[in-house]
Structure 1
Amino acid sequence: MKMGSQSCFKVLIICLIAIIGAANAQLQLGFYAKSCPKAEKIVLKYVHKHIPNAPSLAAALIRLHFHDCFVRGCDASVLLNATQSNPQAEKNSFPNLTLRGFEFIDKIKSLIEAECPGVVSCADILTLSARDSIHAVGGPFWNVPTGRRDGVRSKAADVFLGLPAPFHNVSTLLTLFGNVGLDANDLVLLSGAHTIGITHCASVSNRLYNFTGKLDQDPDLDSAYAKNLKTFKCKSISDQTTVLEMDPGSRNTFDLGYYKQVVKRRGLFESDAALLKSSTTRSIVAQHLQSTKKFFVEFAKSMEKMGRINVKVGTEGEIRKHCAFVN
């Protein structure tokens, strides 16, 4: 074999090894055990220090995680700021304008960077923070395999392609969940996170005042509850800012309260009411109402499953130095 041929052969072998390595790379428990052994403890300590004093952040963080994973996978693209060359990032899209928790993630990132520069991804920090914050408000604990890498693309237009919306019907919801490898059970379980959520009158005003454009009320919303909302909360269709609890009375406690509201037709979103529109999802709601323990176990499985959506591993993406900017 000639020298030139040998060189080409060696290059080919190296490329094949790199490709095989990237293909075999995957998430794993304790991914940072050697490279940054304190990483998960830093996240846990910060969460447990701050979430008890601001429990609403638990809902904000799990929502941030959800909005990230359904758009180009769990790659922390939702955390990126707009730039001169990319004036409309994911966080600038209309569905993401009410997202919170960015500063919380940035602070944890800075603490970890001080310990292990350039090692731990923002995607892993967001996933771990969501898990730890849910556990901190009484929810389940689940395993979070790590090794995600951060994406470098963040486009507002991408959000509308994959993110489930509060006004979607059950068919659309099932399609969007199916597109990322999740099923009807996952739809019902992940909707259960609304037990600690809040929203605003803007999200329900059409259901109360102008559902079909004829100044009517959504018949799928319990009439007594609708009347109560109109009288004491959303007093006009123009009220966009009054806060509403998704699970009135226990918004800071992770429990079965959300499902109890749904079966009473008191879920605030059309997507909540949609869970009763399919015999499959309606049956799943009924099942999870029977046992908090079972709900916790199954919710944990769905969260771990969601955390694996289209992750970047191996040599894909990058490890950002700051979560709001690509390197």
Structure 2
Amino acid sequence: MLLLVLITLVGLGHCHAHGPHGQLKVGFYNDKCGGNNVEKVIYDVVKQKITADPDTVSDLVRVSFHDCFVRGCEGSILLNGKGTEQTAPINKGLGGIKTVSDIKEAVEKVCPGVVSCTDVLVIGARAAISLAGGKWYEVETGRRDGVVSRKDEAQANIPPPTMPVPQAIELFARKGLNKHDFVVLLERLYNFRNTNKPDRSISPSLLQLLQKTCPLNSKTDNETFLDQTTNSHFKIDNAYYKQILAHNGVMEIDQNLASNPSTRGLVIGLAKSPNQFLDQFGPAMVKMARIGVLTGNQGEIRKSCGSVN
């Protein structure tokens, strides 16, 4: 499965704006851009981006999560500047921001001032998921962009990599999510819980590989895949769950998902059934994208995703 993604989001009914689905609807931009199909424009740009950099898929999914968990799905993560969400430590290394801005520029050329940056992200994430082997799903659109972005709010609302499974479940519950709803990260290679030793739950072969990739006291910010399955790094599939059941989870939280009684059954089910994961992922993204949306006269339609109008 992809590097750094969330999975299987459910139960967001109370987070919608203005009723069950607010003013969002499938095909919101139909007939608003002349003869131009903005969803196809976005799809084509995302396809080009993925060809150049396969990480684009996980970047767009992760940006969606980081946006929706702070102030709702209203594009606050895309705003540049001092003290914005992008400057929060939890968002260090977050990719995909420039990709969304590039897609927005392409959309503006064919449909200026109509499509929000937030919807560009939502539609772009759907395109990326489909291009990575996920099932196509319809996206609801009609969101408007927020005008506030705060570093401290990002730090307070994005689950940190050190969070144990029970606390992560509680945090997601406050967002209307349940224990299906998270995959988070935790560094555990050398000084697991201040023992000066690695986490014993890592398989020896994976530990050796990760220590080679991320040597102790290295000055280089290296990367590795959360899913260690060959040829699955840039795909939407259930291989990640198979790996954590085999003690090949890169982060402590990965192994906790596979061992914690609250989540182990879910991991086993997803590992056994690729169709279960594929069937759930798209609808889950739709549900997540309803959190705290701005519609109607709320917010604005940004001309540039990095700044307010």
TM-score w.r.t. the length of structure 1 is: 0.82
Deviation at 1:221, TM superposition (A): 2.6
Give the structure 2 partner of residue 44 of structure 1: 43
Give yes or no for the alignment of 1:31 onto 2:28.
yes
Q: How many residues align?
A: 287
8 Å contact from structure 1 (residues 167, 269) kept in 2: no
> 1-side partners of 2:152 and 2:129: how far apart?
30
Q: 1:104 to 1:227 in 2, by over 3 A?
A: closer
Q: Secondary structure at the match of 1:221?
A: coil
Aligned mate of 1:137, from 121, 132, 138: 132
Give the structure 2 partner of residue 241 of structure 1: 221
Q: Which runs of 5+ in 1 are unaligned?
A: 1-21
The AA in structure 2 aligned to 1:241 is D
Give the structure 1 partner of residue 233 of structure 2: 251
Residues 178-221 of structure 1: per-residue CA shift (max 9 Å, x gap) = 1221112233xxx3xx9xxxx9xxx63xx121112231222333
Q: Secondary structure at the match of 2:40?
A: helix
8 Å contact from structure 2 (residues 104, 117) kept in 1: yes
Q: 1:146 to 1:208 in 2, by over 3 A?
A: same
Give yes or no for the alignment of 1:184 onto 2:164.
no
Q: Secondary structure at the match of 2:72?
A: coil
Give the structure 2 partner of residue 108 of structure 1: 103
> 2-side partners of 1:326 and 1:320: how far apart?
6
The AA in structure 2 aligned to 1:62 is V
> 1-side partners of 2:135 and 2:181: how far apart?
15
> 2-side partners of 1:108 and 1:224: how far apart?
40
Give the structure 2 partner of residue 306 of structure 1: 288
Give the structure 1 partner of residue 299 of structure 2: 317
The AA in structure 1 aligned to 2:191 is N
Give the structure 1 partner of residue 57 of structure 2: 58
Give yes or no for the alignment of 1:219 onto 2:200.
yes
> 1-side partners of 2:216 and 2:253: how far apart?
22
The AA in structure 2 aligned to 1:63 is R
Residues 148-194 of structure 1: per-residue CA shift (max 9 Å, x gap) = 1111110000012211122211112112211221112233xxx3xx9
Cα-Cα RMSD: 1.9
The answer to which of 263-272 and 291-300 deviates more is: 263-272
8 Å contact from structure 1 (residues 165, 271) kept in 2: no
Q: Which runs of 5+ in 2 are unaligned?
A: 1-16
8 Å contact from structure 2 (residues 134, 282) kept in 1: no
Give yes or no for the alignment of 1:81 onto 2:80.
yes
Larger radius of gyration: 1
Give the structure 1 partner of residue 247 of structure 2: 265
The AA in structure 1 aligned to 2:196 is L
Between 1 and 2, higher relative CO (CA 8 Å, sep ≥ 6) is seen in: 2
Deviation at 1:240, TM superposition (A): 4.7
TM-score w.r.t. the length of structure 2 is: 0.87
Give the structure 1 partner of residue 264 of structure 2: 282
> 2-side partners of 1:115 and 1:238: how far apart?
46
